[in-house]
Amino acid sequence: MLLVAVTIASAVCRAAGACPGAESAGRGTSLRQVATFDLPGPPGQRFDYLTFDDRGQYLFSAHLGAGLLHVIDVRLNAVARTVRGVPGVEGVA
């Protein structure tokens, strides 16, 4: 799931022209993996929606079953913060 999130974030970043290497986005290049890392929280709980903040370069990942919201800094490819105590978190805007 995280691989998909990072790939989506990278694609959005490139499309916006805000990332290093964005100049290749218009040349028909395909998506590529830029990083992988584990998200905190209990295993086996499902993730829900992803929201990308192109200005701040954060990816928000709702960890629905665990009641967590992960804030991922895509510049560092690391979890910047985990917000706990949001049971049933689904969409984030």
Predicted TM-score (pTM) of the model is 0.61
Cβ pair 58, 80 in contact under 8 A: yes
Distance CA 58, CA 77 (A): 10
pLDDT digits (tens, 9 = 90+) for 30-39: 888 888 877 7
In tens, the pLDDT along 39-84 reads: 777 777 777 788 899 899 999 988 877 888 999 999 998 999 999 9
- Burial of residue 70 (CB within 10 Å: 0-12, 13-18, 19+) is buried
The domain limits of the chain are: 2-83
